């Protein structure tokens, strides 16, 4: 995954402006960065490790054609070898890509059998080899789009041709238009300051871009006329993908992140991880904060296949569970950053006692990935806001898929269950894309009712952990004291603190509808403020299968917390006293 920025111009310009474009795309990747440009009939490639906003790619040349990339590792470690651009065997074609290829391993094996040499462990590298020795790059690009499955966009250049070739297969690509240059980028806001108008590449199209012309073709090879939009963003907005805060942007990222998370999970690692779980003596799930809440949801998934798992805070694990860890124990360790000290500390202690570590992380090059016997990537993409949103929902996807694969060994699940889940995730993502703007409006209207010192968030069953996570979001994003609790427990003491005007957010459970109705009646009798989250509630969640309702219901809570934070004028992306990875 990553961000793409490129140019093709009538006359040579400073290649270093690629750095400026990539800095606006830092939210798409910050593990490494690279540039390729044409000079004296040669391809020059420069790469760096780390965040480009802190360490620019040093380049003093001028060129008419250049492409750049900032990467977030999902397939392959964050190393220089895996950094983009990636080339063919002859070093004549350079490719940068954003997205995930589903079937790259088979393609890679076929190419190696034909004599192609690979230097990276990324999926992207199959592309330049597929293009190698082409005599018609438009035709070759169309063939790549037909053959390579996945959700991706890519840009490539080749020596002797002052053009940029681009493919959009489900990930966005924009082409900024000026009389002297054309610019290509992964989003519209990053083109601010470069171009006033931009072509929006439709899905499943190929573009041939020269300094004075842009031709776009559909998968059948017929030329199409794409949409053109104005580029008008303030600089501080441009760096957040056009959103006022990273948190809101990342909530809107959720639909695509759900699909990416499912598609990025590789069969061989899922099979290995599930086999380890199926043969485990005992299983502990550990994490902190949002990761802990995702782990609690996984207990409902694993219980369906007859696997009993213990969910423990990583901070408490050494004092509560460590004595029961022996050879045969499996630890499912969840950390978005992969650097959370409590998680790493507990993992090391468990390894010393003979446990097998199954890591789940959004950072492939992290300490958790290194410490794990097997790890599964969350692949939600970079999350810049401290309040976690898309990593929570994507972690749920990973845990659900892992449970289904484990169920294959016990006979509780079949391949059709996995295929059905993919369809349900895709449908949920589609419905979320359509519903998010209305959800945001509803959240903004309701936020004034929540502008109090305290509130409750409550649900039952598989959505009980979502109530805990919702309360955490209110603490982080709006600095509101919030408690998440099980629906029945609300009536056993906590309700005594409520009074007229006290906000209570109720998530309609996928189970226990009678209990939900009793609680609603009790609170209404007290004249407390109720905000319901359901398919027909005050803020409407998207209808989906029971096991995905935690995703559907989490998003309205995230939006409510965000809008309350905006109402209060708080630094939502960087709450005081909090950091993305807690290291103590």
177-191, 222-236, 330-344: segment of lowest average pLDDT: 222-236
What is the pLDDT averaged over residues 261-277? 94
Asked if pLDDT for residue 251 goes beyond 70, the answer is: yes
d(CA 285, CA 314): 9
Instruction: Identify the band that residue 468 occupies on the pLDDT scale cut at 50, 70 and 90.
Output: very high
User: Mean pLDDT across the stretch 410-421?
Assistant: 95
152-170: pLDDT as tens digits: 999 999 998 999 999 999 9
pLDDT tens by residue, 425-448: 999 999 999 999 999 999 999 999
pLDDT at 500 over 80: no
Q: How confident is the model at residue 111 (pLDDT cuts 50, 70, 90)?
A: very high
User: Of 73-77, 212-216, 251-255, 462-466, which range is least confident?
Assistant: 73-77
pLDDT tens-digit map of 63-92: 999 999 999 888 888 899 999 999 999 999
pLDDT of residue 76: 81
The yes-or-no verdict on residue 292 having pLDDT over 90 is yes
Per-residue pLDDT, averaged over 577-582, amounts to 70
DSSP E strand stretches across 104-211: 150-158, 164-169, 174-177, 181-185, 197-200, 205-210
In degrees and rounded to multiples of 5, residue 543 shows phi and psi of -70, 130
For the ranges 7-11, 129-133, 135-139, 579-583, which has the lowest average pLDDT? 579-583
- Percent pLDDT > 70 in the chain is 99
Which pLDDT score is estimated for 522?
A: 79
Whole-prediction pTM: 0.91
| Cβ-Cβ contacts under 8 Å for 206 (sequence gap 6 or more) | 138, 141, 142, 145, 165, 166, 167, 168, 216, 217
- What is the phi/psi pair of residue 196, to 5°? -95, -20
Strand 539-540: give its sheet, edge to edge.
481-486, 454-459, 503-507, 529-534, 539-540
Residue 160: its pLDDT value, please?
86
Which has the higher per-residue pLDDT, 145 or 528? 145
CA-based nearest residue to 466, from 561, 566, 565, 353: 561
Mean pLDDT to the nearest integer, 307-329: 94
Ramachandran assignment for 23, one of left (phi > 0), alpha (psi -120 to 50 degrees), beta (any other) = alpha
pLDDT (tens digit per residue) in 89-103: 999 999 999 999 988
How confident is the model at residue 512, as a pLDDT? Answer: 76
Q: Give CA–CA dist 532/113, Å, rounded.
A: 58
Predicted confidence at residue 236, as pLDDT, reads 74
Kindly report, residue by residue over 365-394, the tens digit of the pLDDT.
889 999 999 999 999 988 999 999 999 999
CA–chain centroid gap for 247, Å, is 13
Helix or strand run (H / E) with residue 87: strand 86-87
Contact 38, 9 (CB under 8 A): no
Least confident of 23-27, 288-292, 543-547: 23-27
**Within the chain, how many helices (H) and strands (E) appear?**
18, 25
| pLDDT value of position 514 | 80
> What is the overall mean pLDDT for the chain?
93
Per-residue pLDDT of 36-65, as tens digits, reads: 999 888 899 999 998 888 888 999 899 999
SS3 call for 389: coil
Find tokens 């995703």 and name the residue: 551
What is the per-residue pLDDT for 582?
Answer: 57
Tokens of 350: 């468990």
Give pLDDT tens digits for 536-578: 999 999 999 999 999 999 999 999 999 999 999 999 999 988 7
Q: What is the pLDDT of residue 496?
A: 81
Return the pLDDT at 353. 95
Q: How many CB atoms lie within 10 A of CB 231?
A: 21
pLDDT at 584: 55
Task: Evaluate if residue 223 carries a pLDDT over 70.
Answer: yes
Q: How far apart are CA 325 and CA 281, in angstroms?
A: 9
Give the C-alpha separation, 246 to 249, whole Å.
5
More reliable by pLDDT, 365 or 126: 126
Confidence of residue 530 (pLDDT cuts 50, 70, 90): confident
């Amino acid at each position: 995954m990553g961000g793409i920025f490129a140019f093709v111009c009538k006359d040579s310009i400073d290649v270093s402006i690629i750095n400026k474009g990539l800095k606006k795309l830092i939210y798409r990747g910050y593990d490494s960065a690279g540039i390729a440009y044409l000079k004296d009939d040669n391809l020059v490639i420069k790469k760096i490790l780390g965040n480009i906003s802190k360490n620019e790619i040093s380049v003093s040349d001028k060129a008419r054609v250049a492409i750049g990339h900032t990467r977030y590792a999902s397939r392959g470690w964050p190393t220089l070898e895996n950094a983009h651009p990636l080339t063919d065997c002859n070093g004549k074609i350079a490719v940068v890509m954003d997205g995930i290829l589903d079937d790259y391993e088979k393609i890679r094996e076929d190419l190696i059998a034909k004599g192609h040499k690979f230097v990276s462990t990324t999926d992207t590298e199959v592309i330049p080899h597929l293009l190698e020795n082409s005599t018609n790059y438009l035709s070759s690009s169309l063939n790549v789009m037909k053959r390579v499955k996945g959700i991706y966009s890519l840009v490539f250049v080749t020596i002797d041709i002052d053009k940029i070739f681009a493919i959009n297969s489900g990930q966005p690509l924009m082409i900024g238009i000026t009389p002297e240059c054309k610019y290509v980028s992964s989003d519209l806001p990053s083109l601010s300051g470069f171009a006033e108008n931009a072509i929006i590449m439709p899905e499943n199209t190929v573009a041939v871009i020269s300094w004075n012309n842009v031709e776009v073709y559909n998968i059948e090879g017929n030329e199409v006329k794409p949409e053109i939009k104005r580029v008008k963003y303030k600089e501080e907005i441009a760096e957040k993908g056009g959103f006022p805060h990273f948190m809101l942007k990342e909530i809107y990222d959720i639909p695509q992140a759900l699909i990416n998370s499912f598609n990025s999970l590789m069969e061989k690692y899922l099979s290995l991880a599930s086999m380890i779980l199926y043969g485990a003596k005992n299983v502990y799930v550990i994490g902190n904060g949002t990761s802990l809440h995702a782990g609690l949801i996984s207990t409902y998934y694993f219980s369906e296949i007859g696997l009993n798992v213990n969910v423990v805070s990583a901070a408490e694990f050494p004092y509560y569970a460590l004595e029961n860890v022996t050879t045969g124990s499996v630890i499912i360790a969840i950390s978005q950053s992969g650097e959370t000290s409590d998680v790493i500390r507990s993992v090391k202690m468990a390894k010393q006692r003979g446990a097998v570590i199954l890591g789940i992380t959004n950072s492939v090059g992290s300490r958790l990935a290194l410490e794990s016997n097997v790890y599964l990537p969350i692949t939600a993409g970079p999350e810049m806001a401290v309040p976690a949103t898309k990593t929570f929902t994507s972690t749920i996807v990973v845990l659900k898929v892992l449970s289904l694969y484990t169920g294959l060994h016990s006979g509780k699940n079949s391949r059709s269950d996995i295929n059905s889940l993919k369809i349900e995730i895709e449908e949920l993502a589609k419905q979320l894309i359509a519903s998010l703007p209305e959800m945001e409006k509803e959240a903004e209207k309701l936020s004034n009712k929540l502008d109090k010192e305290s509130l409750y968030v409550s649900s039952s069953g598989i959505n009980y952990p979502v109530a805990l996570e919702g309360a955490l979001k209110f603490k982080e994003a709006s600095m509101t004291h919030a408690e998440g609790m099980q629906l029945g427990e609300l009536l056993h003491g906590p309700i005594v603190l409520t009074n007229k005007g006290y906000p209570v957010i109720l998530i309609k459970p996928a189970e226990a509808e009678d209990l939900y109705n009793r609680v609603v009646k009790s609170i209404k009798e007290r004249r407390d403020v109720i905000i319901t989250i359901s398919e027909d509630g005050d803020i409407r969640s998207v209808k989906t299968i029971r096991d995905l309702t935690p995703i559907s219901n989490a998003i309205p809570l995230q939006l409510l917390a965000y809008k309350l934070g905006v109402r209060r004028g708080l630094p939502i992306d960087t709450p005081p006293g909090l950091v993305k990875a807690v290291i103590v």
